[in-house]
Amino acid sequence: MLPSLQRKIIHIDCDCFYAAIEMRDDPSLRGIPIAVGGSPDRRGVVATCNYEARRYGIHSAMAAATARKLCPSLRFIRPRMEAYREASREIHAIFADYSDRIEPLSLDEAYLDVSHCPRLQGSATRIAEQIRQRVRERVGITVSAGVAPNKFLAKVASDWNKPDGLFVVRPEQVDDFVEQLPVKRLHGVGRVTANKLKRLGIETCGQLRVFSQLDLVAYFGSFGERLFQLARGVDEREVQSIRRRKSLSVEHTFEQDLPSLEAVLERLPELLNELERRLEGKLSEGYALSKRFVKVKFADFTQTTLETLISGDPEQRLQALQFAPLMSQAWQRGARPVRLLGVGVRLRDLQQENTREQLSLF
């Protein structure tokens, strides 16, 4: 494994991917605010939107009705997943010309390790620029790219000059770049953690470096170790060509709020049937179930999740009888009408565990 400062990692992120495909296929949509997702009249959610819509404060995962209030002229488009998958396949075919170490994060986002790529004199910057050009010419959309010695910095860099941008963090620039980096850009730092850091007087990684690893663990638990490393630009994660699942879940947004716990529990069997359908075959692929979890989003958009270890009769692990107490506890945290329910399971990767055991023998 190459040390992180010798790696050449590219993170590619398509610009407003679903919306970009829609504008490519229907040029009349260009220049007007559009959102891809569910209808505002049917409790839909925005999957993505173009940059014209983002100027109104619209973003992914926003309720479609809220988006319509922010921009009355917003045009909603139903997703065409097969068109997006086809575009993604074309983009990944381009990636494969430069590396066999590709880690897809979604249809529109991936890491590439080009440390050993001989093309373009091995320049990761030139490779990233050529990929961007080829995607523009072949697929008809734009992508942004970040180039850096590790995955963390490459992902930050790809967002630096969006849309249609390229940003490079060279090994000798890492320390200065990270020192000025706002902590809210660190992977895993959400609103709650960012607010907690701010209360400690920490808004940049330079300020975060003042704290010892022990201090950060005391404040943030095991995530404190990760914060300590990221504040110094350290990320030893390799680009994983094959990503194994860690969980599987099903969610549903209801057209009418579920008014009571009884109404919530009535919808549980249908969610579990869908979860069981999606889970078919996974246990034969080297997975085992470790935990069950539920998600409840209330009508005011607050949400909660709750999970527990799976034990007992394997035949009952996905039955409503096993999920109902967990769902009841989650609902009682808000005890008000519900707009979304989710159920899922955490997965143990038996293949990875067996590999670790075999390695430990030698």
Give the pLDDT confidence of 58-94 residue by residue, as tens digits.
Answer: 999 899 999 999 999 999 999 999 999 999 999 999 9
The confidence score (pLDDT) of residue 274 equals 86
pLDDT score for 313:
53
**In terms of C-beta distances under 8 Å and separation of at least 24 residues, what long-range contacts does 44-52 make, across chains too?**
44/76, 44/253, 45/253, 47/18, 47/79, 48/16, 48/17, 48/18, 48/19, 49/16, 49/19, 49/74, 50/16, 50/19, 50/20, 50/23, 51/15, 51/16, 51/163
* pLDDT score recorded for residue 4: 47
All structural domains of the chain with their residue ranges:
17-81, 175-230, 247-355
334: exposed, middle or buried (Cβ count in 10 Å: 0-12, 13-18, 19+): middle
| CATH architecture type of domain 17-81 | 3-Layer(aba) Sandwich (3.40)
15 labeled binding residue: no
CA geometry: angle 264, 266, 272, nearest 5 deg:
90
pLDDT (0 to 100) of residue 361: 40
- Looking at residue 318, what is its pLDDT? 63
According to the model, what pLDDT value does residue 1 have? 43
Q: Active site residue: 90, 109, 203, 307, which one?
A: 109
pLDDT for the residue numbered 285: 65
**Is the domain defined by 175-230 classed in CATH 1.10.150.20?**
yes
Q: Which pTM was predicted?
A: 0.73
270 catalytic residue (yes or no)? no
- CATH architecture type of domain 247-355: 2-Layer Sandwich (3.30)
**147 torsion bin: left (phi>0), alpha (psi -120 to 50), beta (else):** beta
pLDDT one digit per residue (tens) for the chain, 362 residues = 454 448 999 999 999 999 999 999 999 999 999 999 988 877 789 999 999 999 999 999 899 999 999 999 999 999 999 999 999 999 999 999 999 899 999 999 999 999 999 999 999 999 999 999 999 999 999 999 999 999 999 999 999 999 999 999 999 999 999 999 999 999 888 888 888 899 989 999 999 999 999 999 998 888 899 999 999 999 999 998 866 678 888 888 888 899 999 999 999 999 998 888 878 766 666 678 889 999 999 988 888 999 998 876 555 556 767 899 999 999 999 999 999 999 999 888 776 555 444 444 43
**Residue 108 labeled ligand binder:** yes
